[in-house]
A and B are shown apart, each in its own frame.
Chain A
Amino acid sequence: MSYKPQLTGSWWLKHRFFKAYMLREATVIPLAFLLCSLLAGAFSLQDPERFQHWQAFMSNPLVILVHTLALTTSLYHAATFFVLFPRVMPIRVGNYQLPARYLVLAQWGAVWLVVALFIWLFAFGGQS
Chain B
Amino acid sequence: MRSIQVLRYLPEESPQPFLQSFQVPVTDSTSVLDALNYIKESLDPTLSFRWSCRMAICGSCGVMVNGIPKLGCKDFLRNYPNDLIIEPLAHLPVERDLVVNMDSFLRHLEAVKPYLIEGKNAADSSQPNRQTPAQMARYQQFANCINCGLCYAACPQFGLNPEFTGPAAIALAHRYNLDSRDSGKAQRMAPLNSKNGVWSCTFVGFCSEVCPKGVDPAAAVNQGKVESAKSMLIQLFSGRAIGGAGQ
The interface of chain A, by Cβ under 8 A from chain B, is: 1-5, 7, 11-12, 14-15, 17-18, 21, 25, 84, 87-90, 95, 97
Contacts and interface: CB of A to CB of B under 8 A. Distances in A.
A1 B15 CA distance: 9
B234 interface: no
19 contacts: A2-B11, A2-B93, A2-B94, A2-B95, A3-B9, A3-B17, A3-B94, A5-B94, A7-B156, A12-B156, A17-B204, A18-B204, A18-B206, A84-B203, A84-B222, A87-B218, A87-B219, A95-B134, A95-B137
Interface string B2-23: 0000000101000101000000
A12 to B, nearest CB: 7
Given A12-B156, A89-B226, A84 B205 contact: yes
Contacts of A87: 216, 218-219, 222-223
B101 A2 contact: yes
Given A2-B94, A17-B209, A84-B222, 17 more contacts: A1-B11, A3-B93, A4-B92, A4-B93, A5-B90, A5-B94, A7-B91, A7-B160, A11-B159, A18-B204, A18-B206, A21-B206, A25-B202, A87-B216, A87-B219, A88-B225, A90-B223
A88 B205 CA distance: 12
A72 B160 CA distance: 31
A41 B94 CA distance: 56
B204 A21 contact: yes
A88 B228 CA distance: 13
B122 interface: no
Nearest to A21: B204
A122 to B, nearest CB: 34
Given A15-B68, A18-B206, A88 B93 contact: no
B62 to A, nearest CB: 16
